[in-house]
């Protein structure tokens, strides 16, 4: 009995050992469905995985691939048979064949679905999944002899340590090719590869095209010139090698515990994702090109691409989506198709065609047009297009005629009337008479609907005004809102006398600046407001109301909420929510105020960064604040920071190309490019933010923060902070009023961020979105260089002592 129990235990242990995960396939072994290889570090797994061919279909495709083993949802990074899906997985296995190759074998038919296809002199080989995610086929008796590796055949993802580029000896081009759609890993429409002309750069282009739509810029020894962010990031360590044998790019993760991937996705953009354990999701931290519509033919033919729209691809009038199923799976390259064929095609006549032209306004044209020299007018251009059945659109601009044949690609929507859109033009699209008439009828119905709606709205508004007038007469002193009228964004139009009464004739002054003074007020006898009386806003009433409306539409937890406005004759006032803890400078620089703890200071720095990132990157139009400083950071009851005056540039219509004397910014926070007179970018806000963060750290103005142990020697604090950071003495920089109650790791991180932000060259400064990721701990940052311009301007003796 004991002997039987012993054999049962031995059998159980053998079964357990055989089922344990391994990273190797030996000759005679096989990997079948539900089995997998796992790398020694447990990071990667290889096995069979399945996808549905469509969201609604029960038809399942199987693939052999490598994925991230510690990520709950299967995220493939390499696929062997991406263009040859398996239907009957039950009879499939991954094994080493008699000729030594690694193959996917159909056991029933003995046919090979996929193979490594290398010439091997001996058939004693072993397949191993390495800890870096590389699947290799090696000599069983000499593991250093590698016959084949998956790193030489990437799909849409580049692994850390893998090479992207040319092996000149064997003529191998390692490039990424996007997936077909969000479900299928089959080869898609776009690729990223080393520039075939020999330049030391990578480009993104349609597969089999020699015309890129984005390039990385040349490698300068540290980073690619179109990606200056690489110089500031320490998450990845990059390497570019070029010699007689090979030219390639590779990268490694500085933090080995981080899970990240660089992928060329379905949208034709190269993206960097980081896996966040806390939220259990992939977070995109970087993408190129920045705008989706920069990707060539991303929406397919007969579409208009709009970067400002949630659904960036839309069919032109008279066209419908060619494949709704593909669009749902994020593959829109099939574009749109005509609802009704052109008359010249149906009747095979160009002399008596009934085709019409429908105008598409405010668009940017592709470069594929044919110029017609003979056409001297719009009419001649239209007739010339009608006489050629392959002509599907034309434009007439600056005395020149351009026509397009067969299909339209890369039409881009612009904002009508935008002063920055010099390429804004009108396209005349050829449609059948039937579709043209339907669109004209729709226009008429819309006009009639708008007219009827406007009439009903006017009557309703009149009735509302009468009702409010009646209510106002009943409450003489409570009617401080101008008829209670709100705009489309909830912005309230106030009367000047009401605001004058609410602020007690503008007596309770909260503060002031270059734009005017701010006064405290009450509406409805209980709600506190802050009223900013503007000085120098000379816009007309219509323009002022339009700008206020656009500012009111901007909502973010770290931006002061605009409640309303007043436009009475030449008087211009803005009404904001009241911030009970006033502005940041009050707490940093005045001894009789609350001493902000380090935790609150760090959260203020992070909150302001989030607000600026929203203004720069998430608004319909990029908004540059131009005057970031502690006085413009307000604090609510919980000390949550709110950026104030973020719409002043729109209201005052500043000319950013002028010299320093005409700028309304604040000395001490102005970026060097203001002085040089060049066109400014959002990086001027980044510079000001860096200066302000240094003041948050020290609790004093940059110009007067003590920098010697005795406190008698005063130099410009940012220069002193940069030196102390390099010396590893961040603790001496922190406000002494905190008495050492500081998270020094956070203090060092904040100081690094600030010193990167105040770099002389704006290309060396991070974006505010990058700053947020750094402060949140998502992205690491290296040690910044000394801001040499600041040091030379201040004449610091610090460097001489060093």
Of 423, 405, 406, nearest to 414 (Cα)?
423
Q: How far apart, in whole angstroms, are the C-alpha atoms of residue 574 and residue 564?
A: 6
**DSSP designation for 618:** I
Q: Yes or no: say if 193 and 173 are a contact pair by the CB < 8 Å rule.
A: yes
Q: How far apart, in whole angstroms, are the C-alpha atoms of residue 50 and residue 67?
A: 12
Take residue 543 and report the two structure tokens written for it.
């323009």
- In order, the DSSP letters of 68-110 are ETTSSS--EEEESSTTS-BS-GGGEEEEE-TTS-EEEEETTTT
Sign of CA dihedral 331, 332, 337, 339: positive
Take residue 533 and report the two structure tokens written for it.
């009386």
Q: 411-447 burial, b if ≥16 CB within 10 A, otherwise e?
A: bbbbeeeeeeeeebbebbbbbbeebbebeeeeeeeee
Give Cα 161 distance to the centre of its chain: 26
Of 75, 220, 260, nearest to 780 (Cα)?
260
- Active-site entry in 627, 685, 735, 760: 627
Q: How far apart, in whole angstroms, are the C-alpha atoms of residue 689 and residue 686?
A: 5
Take residue 603 and report the two structure tokens written for it.
């959260």
Q: Collect all residues with Cβ–Cβ distance below 8 Å to 700 and sequence separation of at least 6.
A: 588, 589, 706, 717, 735
Q: How far apart, in whole angstroms, are the C-alpha atoms of residue 648 and residue 626?
A: 9
Take residue 404 and report the two structure tokens written for it.
């397009």
Three-class SS state of 212: coil
Contacts 24+ apart (CB under 8 A), 43-50: 43/68, 43/69, 43/70, 43/131, 43/133, 43/259, 44/68, 44/69, 44/77, 44/129, 44/131, 44/133, 45/69, 45/129, 46/129, 46/135, 48/86, 48/89, 48/92, 48/94, 49/74, 49/76, 50/89
Active-site residue flag, 627: yes
Is the link from the previous residue into 796 a cis peptide, with omega within 30 of 0? no
Of 675, 692, 678, nearest to 606 (Cα)?
692
Tell me: is residue 434 an annotated ligand-binding position.
Answer: no
The total number of residues shown for the chain amounts to: 802
Q: Yes or no: say if 544 and 651 are a contact pair by the CB < 8 Å rule.
A: yes
Of 76, 80, 122, nearest to 101 (Cα)?
122
Measured torsion, CA atoms of residues 693, 696, 697, 700, in degrees rounded to the nearest 10:
120
Q: 696-712 burial, b if ≥16 CB within 10 A, otherwise e?
A: bbbbbebeebbbeeeee
Q: Yes or no: say if 565 and 531 are a contact pair by the CB < 8 Å rule.
A: no
Cβ-based neighbour number of residue 71 at 10 Å: 17
Q: Tell me whether strands 125-129 and 142-149 are parallel, antiparallel or unpaired.
A: unpaired
Q: Tell me the binding residues.
A: 532
Active site amino acids = 627
- Known binding residues for ATP are 532
């Amino acid at each position: 009995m004991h002997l039987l129990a012993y054999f049962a235990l031995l059998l159980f242990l053998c079964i357990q050992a055989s089922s344990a995960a391994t990273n190797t396939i030996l000759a005679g072994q096989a990997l079948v469905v539900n089995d997998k290889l796992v790398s020694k570090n447990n990071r990667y797994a290889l096995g069979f995985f399945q996808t549905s061919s469509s969201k609604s279909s029960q038809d399942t495709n199987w693939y052999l691939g490598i994925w991230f083993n510690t990520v709950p949802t299967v995220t493939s990074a390499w696929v062997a048979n991406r263009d040859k899906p398996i239907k009957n997985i039950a009879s499939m296995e991954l094994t080493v064949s008699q000729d030594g190759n690694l193959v996917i074998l159909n056991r029933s038919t003995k046919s090979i679905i996929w193979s490594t296809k290398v010439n091997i002199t001996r058939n004693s080989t072993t397949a191993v999944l390495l800890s870096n995610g590389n699947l290799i086929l090696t000599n069983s008796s000499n593991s250093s002899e590698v016959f084949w590796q998956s790193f030489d055949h990437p799909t849409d993802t580049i692994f850390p340590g893998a090479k992207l580029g040319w092996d000149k000896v064997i003529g191998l081009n390692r490039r990424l090719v996007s997936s077909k759609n969000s479900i299928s890993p089959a080869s898609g429409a776009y690729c990223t590869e080393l520039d075939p002309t020999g330049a030391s750069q990578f480009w993104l282009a349609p597969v089999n095209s020699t015309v890129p739509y984005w390039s990385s810029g040349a490698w300068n020894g540290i980073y690619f010139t179109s990606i200056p962010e690489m110089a500031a990031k320490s998450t990845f360590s990059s390497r570019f090698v070029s010699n007689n044998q090979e030219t390639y790019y590779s990268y490694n993760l500085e933090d080995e515990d981080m899970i990240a991937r660089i992928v060329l996705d379905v949208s034709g953009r190269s993206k960097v994702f980081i896996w966040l354990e806390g939220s259990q999701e992939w977070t995109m931290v970087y993408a190129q090109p920045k705008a989706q519509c920069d990707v060539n033919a991303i929406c397919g033919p007969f579409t208009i691409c709009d970067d400002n729209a949630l659904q960036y691809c839309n069919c032109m009038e008279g066209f419908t989506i060619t494949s709704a199923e593909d669009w749902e799976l994020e593959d829109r390259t099939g574009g749109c198709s005509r609802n009704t064929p052109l008359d010249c095609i149906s009747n095979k006549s160009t002399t008596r065609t009934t085709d019409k032209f429908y105008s598409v306004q405010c668009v940017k044209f592709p470069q594929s047009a044919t110029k017609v020299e003979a056409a001297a007018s719009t009419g001649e251009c239209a007739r010339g297009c009608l006489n050629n059945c392959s002509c599907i659109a034309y434009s007439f601009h600056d005395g020149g005629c351009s026509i397009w044949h067969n299909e339209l690609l890369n039409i881009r929507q612009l904002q009508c009337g935008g002063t920055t859109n010099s390429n804004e033009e009108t396209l005349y699209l050829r449609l059948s008479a039937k579709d043209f008439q339907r669109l004209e009828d729709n226009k008429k119905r819309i006009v009639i609907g708008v007219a009827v709606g406007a009439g009903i709205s006017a009557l309703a508004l009149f009735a509302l005004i009468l009702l409010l007038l009646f209510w106002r007469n009943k409450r003489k002193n409570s009617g401080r809102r101008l008829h209670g009228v709100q705009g489309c964004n909830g912005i309230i139009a106030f009367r000047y006398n009401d605001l004058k009464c609410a602020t007690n004739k503008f007596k309770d002054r909260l503060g002031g600046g270059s734009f005017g003074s701010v006064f405290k007020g009450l509406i409805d006898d209980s709600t506190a407001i802050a009223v900013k009386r503007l000085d120098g806003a000379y816009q007309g009433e219509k323009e002022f109301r339009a700008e206020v409306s656009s500012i009111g539409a901007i909502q973010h937890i770290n931006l002061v909420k605009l409640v309303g406005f007043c436009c009475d004759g030449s008087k211009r006032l803005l009404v904001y929510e009241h911030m009970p803890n006033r502005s940041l400078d009050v707490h940093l620089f005045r001894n009789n105020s609350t001493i902000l703890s380090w935790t609150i200071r760090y959260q203020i720095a992070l909150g302001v960064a989030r607000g600026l990132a929203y203004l720069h990157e998430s608004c319909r139009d990029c908004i540059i604040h131009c005057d970031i400083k502690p006085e413009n950071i307000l604090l609510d009851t919980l000390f949550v920071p709110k950026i104030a005056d973020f719409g002043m540039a729109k209201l005052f219509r500043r000319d950013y190309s002028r010299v320093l004397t005409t700028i309304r910014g604040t000395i001490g926070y102005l970026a060097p490019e203001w002085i040089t007179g060049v066109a400014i970018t959002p990086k001027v806000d980044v510079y000001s933010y860096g200066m302000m963060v240094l003041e948050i750290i020290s609790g004093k103005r940059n110009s007067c923060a003590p920098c010697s142990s005795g406190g008698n020697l005063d130099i410009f604090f940012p220069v002193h902070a940069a030196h102390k950071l390099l010396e590893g003495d961040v603790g001496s920089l922190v406000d002494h009023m905190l008495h050492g109650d500081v998270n020094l790791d956070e203090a060092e991180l904040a100081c690094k961020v600030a010193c990167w932000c105040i770099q002389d060259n704006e290309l060396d400064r991070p974006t505010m979105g990058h700053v947020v990721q750094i402060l949140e701990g998502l992205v690491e940052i290296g040690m910044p260089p000394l801001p040499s311009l600041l040091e030379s301007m201040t004449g610091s003796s610090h460097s001489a002592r060093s």
